[in-house]
Amino acid sequence: MSDIFEHPSTTVCVMDASGRLGFGLVDSLLQRGYTVHAAVQNDCHEEQFDVLSCDKEKLKVFVADPFDYQSIVDALKGCSGLFYSYEPPQDQPNYDEFTAEFEARAAHNVLEACAQTDTVDKVVFASSVTAVIWRDDVKSISSDLDEKYWSDINFCRKYKLWHGLSKTLAEKAAWALAMDRGVSIVSINAGLLLEPNLSLSNPYLKGAAEMYEDGVFVTVDLNFLVDAHICAFEDISSYGRHICFNHVINRHEDTVELTKMFTPAMPTPPQSCEEDMKIIPQKITNKKLNKMIVEFASRTAQIDN
């Protein structure tokens, strides 16, 4: 068998496993035959894994506080990889100017623990498109926004785009430590995650109107996002940042459908023919991620045959 693949008989850690993405990763990884260390911030989340129908003997639940270094190390023990996503503490669920500092510190702590753990070969770091798009020069950039672009920290502070600020500082902290300590890391910069309990209070949506007008308002389904993370881990040729989305909100009907998710009972607003036909030019690309997924699937098919 080719050495381009990681082997799914290994043990990996998912942190924070209590969130929507984390839980989806735990479920999918178990189904693929991995042994999973599911790290949650407190033990009240342990029961949520009872609904999983896969092999529970391959699931170990750890309580790991991202600000408690030893608890992180304990969860990582024996793991060859980490899938990391930050979930704000239950007593501080909303993003504000202080969340950015907390999230960056948490990322630093977790990457430092990985650097101190001999078995961890790769980290898949969940970031956001909001760490890419918030800049004052978006309209003047001739090419589509891709992985080389970062949100401007001062721009985020000026307009109180706390989600973008938090994700940008946290991802930069993770990359800085990883490069300094030799930790292999891949980041997945996801669009707005579509989920059943999505509401207008979601911090990602601050500045949604500007995202739409700039052609950078993108969303992603959970299954696609989970698959992207696992592909990034299993394909050892993966590297760097990957913008991840599978739908662009750039038409009036897109905004209507999204609004229905927030407020199902709200009647559809009237629209003019001009509005109905208008399409905002897309200004963001996910070509790098799509190329990785297609090439990885192709190599997998060749080996299977």
Asked if 268 and 127 touch (Cβ cutoff 8 Å), the reply is no
Angle between helices 20-31 and 222-234 (to 10 degrees): 60
Q: How far apart are CA 295 and CA 305, in angstroms?
A: 15
Q: How many CB atoms neighbour CB 288 within 10 A?
A: 17
Instruction: Write out the H or E segment, with its range, that includes residue 219.
Output: strand 218-221
Structure tokens at 13: 């850690």
Of the residues 122, 167, 206, 283, which is catalytic? 167
**How does strand 247-248 pair with strand 218-221?**
antiparallel
Angstrom distance (rounded) from CA 279 to CA 178: 40
Peptide bond into 50 cis (omega under 30): no
Q: What CA–CA distance (Å, rounded) separates 300 from 291? A: 14
Cα 15 to its chain centre, rounded Å, is 12
* Cα–Cα dist 84/202, whole Å: 20
Look up residue 288 and give its two tokens: 């790098």
* 56: annotated active-site residue: no
Q: Is the C-alpha dihedral spanning 174, 44, 93, 248 positive or negative?
A: positive
Name the helix (H) or strand (E) containing 128: strand 122-128
Name the residue among 207, 187, 195 with its Cα closest to residue 130: 207
Catalytically active residues are 167
